[in-house]
Amino acid sequence: MSTKGKPIRCKAAVSRAPNEPLVMEEIMVAPPMPREVRIKVICSSLCHTDIGLWVLKDLPGIYPRVLGHEAIGVVESVGEGVHEVAVGDTVIPTFVSDCGECDGCRSKKGNICSKLPFKVTPYMPRYDQGTRFTSLNGETIYHTMCVSSFSEYTVIDVAHVTKVDPSISPSRACLLSCGISTGVGAAWKIANVEEGSTVVIFGMGSIGLAVAEGARLRGAARIIGVDLNSKKFEMGKIFGVTDFVNGGECGDKSVSQVINEMTGGGADYCFECIGLPSMVHEAYSCCRNGWGKTVIIGVAKPGSELGLNYHDILNCGGKSIMGCIFGGVKAKTDIPILLQHYLNKVINLTVWK
């Protein structure tokens, strides 16, 4: 029986209170509005950002909500005006939009859509205050980062989905929905890591390992991982990490001092993948004067501020610091490239389990 144009009753893991276990319950998923698609989620992974949102008591924390934003699914139905995908297509949703029409999406300089700009909203991006989830008694259930993949079905704006080859393993492909694209893209699209360069990565979690993979692909000669867990060095070696610094074992020296000594004056590229302003300072301090780039990837707590000395910036002579959303990746053009790299065994996705 066709479900097109009708609400779907399905199971979802609903977050009903901060830092409380998710509740498996049945919810109603409304049909898609114009320029939206409803997809059946076939695989979803956990991103640390979901955990960060789950513990928040104040906005952008909001309850009840369906978390999850790394996934892959199959289009069940489409709303009016959707021509990019069709029923039955396999798609990867992304929290960053790619409308393909605005100046931001047409430009090669960045990946921030100016028509549907990135924001951590509990609503559908095209319809202010709109959600597509309700409980069985009609209670509004909120979205997460325009995806909400911890549900058997979800509704997503068409600017947030990318059609992909259905033959690719869902458990591998869904990783490109956020984390791996963000890390690899940061080295590839944001920093534009040059061959023979030195890279330092603060935080050797999934994002940091993906940055290492991107730096390796770009031909970096030296990739230094920084973490408090020395066991991560062995995993890092798989992705090209050549050196490791345990931030808790630097004695009376700061991490940046140790790295400056190791590199003879600082690294060409530094990536902060933790979300701590103090580590951004350390990354910037061990980035080479004159041309070094510091890229901020980690998500800090809401309201966090970063203070840098004015003359430290002025006198460094060209050293830069920049933010990074989704690794600078344009979903509809770059995700298929990354998936092809995976098929060609250029990118390693098999070790993330």
Give per-residue burial for 42-77: e unless 16+ CB within 10 Å, then b.
bbbbebbbbebbbebeeebbbbbbbbbbbbbbebbb
pLDDT class of 351 with cuts at 50, 70, 90: low
The residues near 214 (Cβ < 8 Å, ≥ 6 apart) are: 183, 184, 185, 186, 187, 188, 193, 327
Q: Alpha-carbon distance 149 to 175, whole Å?
A: 13
- Residue 261 Ramachandran class (φ > 0 left, ψ -120 to 50 alpha, else beta): alpha
**Radius of gyration of the chain measured on its C-alpha atoms:** 21
The residues near 313 (Cβ < 8 Å, ≥ 6 apart) are: 319
State whether residue 5 is helix, strand or coil.
coil
Question: What are the pLDDT digits (tens) for 201-247?
Answer: 999 999 999 999 999 999 999 999 999 999 999 999 999 999 999 99
Burial of 282 (0-12, 13-18, 19+ CB in 10 A): buried
In the prediction, which pLDDT does 353 show? Answer: 53
Question: What are the pLDDT digits (tens) for 254-308?
Answer: 999 999 999 999 999 999 999 999 999 999 999 999 999 999 999 988 889 998 8
The helix (run of H) or strand (run of E) holding residue 311 is helix 310-314
Residue pair 292/298 in contact (Cβ under 8 Å)? The answer is no
Q: Alpha-carbon distance 132 to 117, whole Å?
A: 20
Q: Alpha-carbon distance 84 to 323, whole Å?
A: 30
Give per-residue burial for 190-211: e unless 16+ CB within 10 Å, then b.
bbebeeebbbbbbbbbbbbbbb
- Which range in 73-77, 118-122, 129-133 is most confidently predicted, on average pLDDT? 73-77
Question: What are the pLDDT digits (tens) for 293-321?
Answer: 999 999 988 889 998 888 888 888 889 99
Residues across the chain = 353
Q: Alpha-carbon distance 29 to 31, whole Å?
A: 7
User: DSSP assignment of 38-90, as one string?
Assistant: EEEEEEEE--HHHHHHHT-SSTT--SSEE---EEEEEEEEE-TT--S--TT-E
Question: What are the pLDDT digits (tens) for 152-181?
Answer: 999 999 999 999 999 999 999 999 999 999
Report residue 251 as tokens. Answer: 């004695």
Q: What is the mean pLDDT of the chain?
A: 94
Q: Alpha-carbon distance 243 to 236, whole Å?
A: 9
Could you identify the residue written with the tokens 């050196």?
243
Rounded to two decimals, what is the model's pTM? 0.93
